Amino acid sequence: MIEYKSVSLANQVYDTLEYNILSGKYAYGEIISETRLSEELGVSRTPIREAMSRLAHEKLIKDSPNGTVVVGVTENDVRDLFEVKRRIEVIATRRAAENISEEGLQQLKENIDQQEFFAQKDDAVKVRDLDTEFHDIIYRECGSIILEGILSPIHHKMMKYRRVSLERAHRIMDSVAEHRAIYDAIAAKDGDKVDTLVLVHIDHAYNNIMEVNNQYGTNNSTKDN
């Protein structure tokens, strides 16, 4: 059952359903109904209906003859999302290096420390979630609500693929090491180094995801435990 927080119940439901879709808990092609989700989350159908309307607008679900079906993010979507990241994330991270607050820098450091801890335990799901937070801190600290509004949803939408990628041999440690290097460059306010490191990180992540997908066919089939 969803815990009640200060944000609206509809937003809590949306966040939960979005996470379940993007993490792969609800698989591509799976039928989800208001009744089922209401029972699973322990809430009335009204916030479920509102959340599903938003998810449909985001094209994460769609209507079908059999009911509402999960669409999620496809391999083609991933290619497009990474193309946007490659062109814009360098700008946002460089601006973060210029504008980051002491609090933001401390949050990045604490996040990286946790990533290294859970990477040693080979906990891909936890590192994946910390990776999401790491990038969200950078987007927030870049000082542009436009860049943050573009990049944060993109990074979230690749959740399932990032988890599968991190489970590949050595990638979890390599990814965390790349994050540590990006943090160090941001802390040093070295914009040129940030540019290089971010592009390398994005290319490594994309290439690894595509290799995993080609090898195992992760697209539209992977579920978290």
Backbone φ and ψ of 142, nearest 5°: -70, -15
Backbone φ and ψ of 221, nearest 5°: -140, -15
Q: Which residue has the higher pLDDT, 9 or 135?
A: 135
- DSSP state at residue 221: T
Alpha-carbon distance of 145 to 151, in angstroms, equals 10
Alpha-carbon distance of 86 to 88, in angstroms, equals 6
Q: Provide the pLDDT confidence category of residue 7 given band limits of 50, 70 and 90.
A: low
Per-residue model confidence (pLDDT) at position 223: 38
Percent of the chain beyond pLDDT 90?
64
pLDDT digits (tens, 9 = 90+) for 137-184: 999 999 999 999 999 999 988 887 887 788 876 889 999 999 999 999
Alpha-carbon distance of 160 to 21, in angstroms, equals 9
Radius of gyration of the chain (CA): 18
**Span of 48-52, 88-92, 118-122, 158-162 with lowest mean pLDDT:** 158-162
**Packing angle of the helix pair 191-216, 159-166 (nearest 10 deg):** 80
Rounded to the nearest integer, the mean pLDDT of the chain is 88
Per-residue model confidence (pLDDT) at position 218: 47
Computed from CA positions of residues 196, 165, 225, 84, in that sequence, does the dihedral angle turn out positive or negative? positive
Alpha-carbon distance of 128 to 118, in angstroms, equals 10
Residue ranges and CATH numbers for the domains of the chain are 9-70 (1.10.10.10), 75-216 (1.20.120.530)
Go through the chain and tell me how many residues it has: 225
Burial class of residue 65, CB neighbours in 10 A (0-12, 13-18, 19+): exposed
- Looking at the DSSP bridge assignments, the partners of residue 64 are 67
SS (H, E, C) 13-26: HHHHHHHHHHCCCC
Per-residue model confidence (pLDDT) at position 215: 61
pLDDT digits (tens, 9 = 90+) for 112-139: 999 999 999 999 889 999 999 999 999 9
Q: Which residue has the higher pLDDT, 2 or 44?
A: 44
Per-residue model confidence (pLDDT) at position 98: 96
